[in-house]
Amino acid sequence: MTDTKKQCSQYTSVSCETRDDLEVWIIKNKYADAAILTQGAQLISYNNKGEKPIIWQSRDTFYKSGIPVRGGIPIIGPWFNALETNPPEISHFVTQEQNAPSHGFLRDISWTLEDVKESDEKTVITFSYTHTRNLLWNRHFRTNITYTIGAELDVALSFENTDESEISITSALHTYFAISDVSNIVVPSFDTIKYIDTLDERKEKIWDGELVIDQERDYIFLNPPTKQSIVDKGWEREIHLETRGSKSAVLWNPWKEKAKALSMFADEEYKEMLCIETANISKDLRTLLPGEVHDLGVCIKSKNLP
Ligand code: TA6
């Protein structure tokens, strides 16, 4: 028996398996099913018992070490997107800029299972990663992610500055939501909210009204409301998000053309997913003094439409 299998055998709601190269933690309790990779501590699926998926994962997924899986909740940090789109306070910590992967390195590396707590209602599972200074990020820090899996899904990410000098980070919970079809979706949450349009020279604009997905979308909303939602008339449900520690939100759908160029993404899959990312990016970067901790989180639940 491997160490992981031994570790798993002590729990009733948690088991583990290997898919190609990667280890997967499977959670099944009274209210929900979920799966989490040790790589990137990435949650890759979540649904309420017997219900449609809330979190989306590509059907073209393969599980190879060092290659992030498309879908679920990739943990993004300590920088967001291409390094050069981040403020200089962030790139300053990267020595080997030419090797800096898009969206940081937290989703590519292996995390450590720290703790599992089980009750009738939920399973609470925590992973950690401790970074020691290297060429990709020349400061120490520690991160923890805790998933609370039950009738709701709670995700809590923390960054602790374990260095002797201050650090600044950008980060995101890059959540891929499952939807019935883009044509059935309305996002009412960003009416009158200022955003950076990354598809139009990063101009700042103000969103007006409900948002529908009828073209490529890649926007960074600034100071969005903490309560956000996706209304899905096809599956007659509304997904609710309540964010913590975040003053930015990314809304992303690649639409037809970009979908074809994405790795681990079938051409037509843009119709089935929508990312709403709970983030600290752009001017919402966070600076931490030695010993300081920043918490970023989101609670996700689904309700039937009346
Ligand atoms: O968060 C939106 C975004 O930054 C898009 O610009 C898009 O490229 C996407 O993330 C996916 O990035 P990835 O590196 O996972 O292919």
Walk along the chain (306 residues) in steps of 10 and give the mean pLDDT of each run: 76 96 97 98 98 98 97 98 94 93 97 96 98 96 98 98 97 98 98 98 97 98 98 98 98 98 97 98 96 98 97
Cα separation, 295 vs 290, whole angstroms: 15
Q: Whose CA is nearest to atom 15 of ligand 1?
A: 70
Q: What is the pLDDT of residue 1?
A: 58
Cα separation, 262 vs 244, whole angstroms: 30
Is the torsion defined by CA of 257, 238, 230, 146 positive or negative?
Answer: negative
Q: Which of 32, 292, 28, 22 is nearest to 166 (CA)?
A: 292
Closest approach atom of ligand 1 to CA 262: 16
Q: Whose CA is nearest to atom 6 of ligand 1?
A: 218
Exposure string of 19-58, with b = 16+ CB inside 10 Å and e = fewer, is eeebbbbebbbebbbbbbbbbbbbbbbbbbeeeebbbbbb
Q: What is the CATH number of the domain that holds 211?
A: 2.70.98.10
Number of domains making up the chain:
1
Q: What is the pLDDT of residue 5?
A: 73
CA of 60 to the centre of ligand 1 (A): 17
Q: What is the pLDDT of residue 68?
A: 96
Asked if residue 232 has its Cβ within 6 Å of ligand 1, the reply is no
Q: What is the pLDDT of residue 78?
A: 98
Asked if residue 252 has its Cβ within 6 Å of ligand 1, the reply is yes
Asked if residue 107 has its Cβ within 6 Å of ligand 1, the reply is no
Task: Identify the domain containing residue 183 by its residue range.
Answer: 3-304
Q: What is the pLDDT of residue 7?
A: 79
Residue of 73, 83, 174 to test ligand 1 pocket, by largest number of atoms within 8 Å of CB? 174
Closest approach atom of ligand 1 to CA 258: 8
Residue of 80, 202, 252, 265 to test ligand 1 pocket, by largest number of atoms within 8 Å of CB? 252
Q: Whose CA is nearest to atom 2 of ligand 1?
A: 252
For the stretch 56-77, pLDDT in tens is 999 999 999 999 999 999 999 9
Sequence-distant (6+) residues with CB within 8 A of 4 are 16, 23, 38, 113
